[in-house]
A and B are shown apart, each in its own frame.
Chain A
């Protein structure tokens, strides 16, 4: 077992996890502001932290990933930080916050994912600081109608109870659950009706994540509905099932589909790479005579394929990677024609 351990990943993940534990101690003022009822969630988060960092570092070490990672930072610090920073900001707003590229893949997918992602992001923003004891609430001394918000032990805001602000804040996780449920419904409908999706979907990759998010959201709303409509009679059931589903989500995060939440920001690096490539010299396909790719990417691809044990170098010293996709297809067709011609029969 230990022979398959990745030392760099193990060290980084251990350091990151220790860092998280220290920040929890410091941020919660030696656990003074930590809510013991959330202890199970805390252990889930710590495990997720270790697992996510471990997998991320393993993933980063793959030759193509590492190439893009290094190039991305090289470009960012190449003296054009403002230009690339602006490019990153645009990409972040349009494709991360707005998720336009997902809508371009399909309306149902786009709107479903948008609702689900924003529901999750809102839930993360509320849950993690609460679980870590970084944020807590308290009644303002000397009265019973004002709540105070403490961040890392410092008072950061206050708001009156029985107002729309209080309703918004206290139900933040309910709003996120409603967003997630709406998104999950749209995506489940798509998975039930789209023939192409039905053909290629798997339970583990496509249905389990949706079912898990639905279970988390329904049990989460259930806690609120229980104490509002059922006088808390089902509190234990709701609280335990909600905790189980959330902890399952956290434990599964490093392994399953949810890892794409961590992986996706790599797309930002590609945005810089693309911009830098477009501004630099372009590779020209020897067959079509047309520009088809930034020269930097062709060179990087040659390095990466060599690292992966692939050698597309031809006898004449050129590489197949110097050809555009259309050029490569033409090379194949011409080689096939040549082989047929040499055999004396064009068909057979």
Chain B
């Protein structure tokens, strides 16, 4: 996509394991270093339900195959490139309506109101397009965020399976980013959990 020679490694994938997140926020600090973000962290580190549990979770953009954020955008500001990266809103088109922010089933995009702009993780495109790993994955100390080949991941987590299919109510969402699930799982159903 960029003007320079593209060295995007198509053999590498993102593997997310929220269960391993220890809430250290290192990924958030590293994310803010990404030049394409304008020094704003795009990753989300949350306490899931702080009153009851110390569980923390990390969420990056899952780069959906058929991104609903792009579908609900009235300004056609969100586009997916040939590597399956769903880019942050085009600055000339985004009208900051918040449709994408609220339609994304993963709760990823955020709106910066003074800029009238939606921003989201673009998998550190400045780095990944040059063959490097995303910032968050390079600093995660607990393995919640891993970027590499599928073989590397299988060696590291022999008892887990990467899954890229999610069920949100009646809607199935397939993504470029994988979530690490119990071995043999093929789908993560996000439904009657509340």
Contacts and interface: CB of A to CB of B under 8 A. Distances in A.
Given A312-B171, A325-B107, A334 B193 contact: yes
A305 B103 contact: yes
Given A293-B102, A310-B68, A196 B35 contact: yes
Contacts, number: 223
Interface stretch (A6-14, A123-131, A178-186, A265-273): A265-273
Contact of B107 (A297, A314, A327, A342): A327
Given A62-B74, A195-B126, A332-B59, A314 B35 contact: no
A236 interface: no
A331 B49 CA distance: 10
Nearest to B62: A332
B105 A196 contact: no
B34 to A, nearest CB: 7
Contact of B194 (A62, A287, A301): A287
A347 B182 CA distance: 8
A74 interface: no
Contact of B44 (A260, A287, A329): A329
Contacts of B73: 64
A64 B125 contact: no
Best-buried of A109, A200, A321 by chain B (most CB within 10 Å) = A200
B187 to A, nearest CB: 9
A92 B157 CA distance: 55
Interface stretch (A30-38, A161-169, A201-209, A244-252): A201-209
Binding site secondary structure of chain A: helix
Contacts of A67: 74
A90 interface: no
Interface string B41-61: 000101011000001010100
B25 interface: no
Contacts of B99: 64, 297, 301, 304
Best-buried of B20, B97, B104, B160 by chain A (most CB within 10 Å) = B97
Binding site secondary structure of chain B: loop
A346 interface: yes
Contacts of B159: 345, 348
Contact of A331 (B4, B75, B110, B190): B190
Given A104-B112, A195-B126, A325-B110, 13 more contacts: A64-B74, A199-B4, A199-B125, A200-B36, A257-B92, A263-B75, A308-B68, A320-B168, A320-B171, A325-B102, A332-B57, A332-B166, A342-B182
Interface of A: 59, 62, 64-65, 67-68, 95, 101, 104-106, 109, 194-196, 198-203, 205, 207, 257, 260, 263-264, 266-267, 270, 273, 286-287, 292-293, 297-298, 301, 304-305, 308, 310-316, 319-321, 323-340, 342-343, 345-348
25 contacts: A64-B74, A95-B116, A105-B117, A200-B2, A200-B125, A207-B3, A260-B92, A266-B75, A267-B96, A270-B96, A311-B170, A312-B169, A315-B169, A316-B192, A320-B168, A325-B109, A326-B107, A328-B104, A328-B105, A332-B57, A333-B46, A336-B18, A339-B181, A340-B182, A348-B160
